[in-house]
Amino acid sequence: MREISDRLRATQARVVLFFDGSGDPVSLGSLSVRFAGTGTADNAILREIERSASPQEITVVTEDRDLARRGRDAGARTSAPGDFWKRFGAGTRTSPAPGSERVDVDDWMQWFSDERNREE
For the chain of 120 residues, list the mean pLDDT of each consecutive stretch of 10.
69 83 86 90 95 93 94 95 77 53 65 67
Strands (E), 1-120: 15-19, 26-28, 31-35, 59-61, 77-79
For residue 36, the model assigns a pLDDT of 93
For residue 104, the model assigns a pLDDT of 64
For residue 82, the model assigns a pLDDT of 86
Assign 48 to helix, strand or coil. Answer: helix
- Encode 39-74: b = buried (16+ Cβ within 10 Å), e = exposed: eebbebbbebbeeeeebeebbbbbeeeebbebbeeb
Question: pTM (2 decimals)?
Answer: 0.67
For residue 106, the model assigns a pLDDT of 67
Nearest residue to 30 (alpha-carbon basis) of 20, 42, 16: 16
For residue 14, the model assigns a pLDDT of 82
Distance CA(14)–CA(30), nearest Å, equals: 5
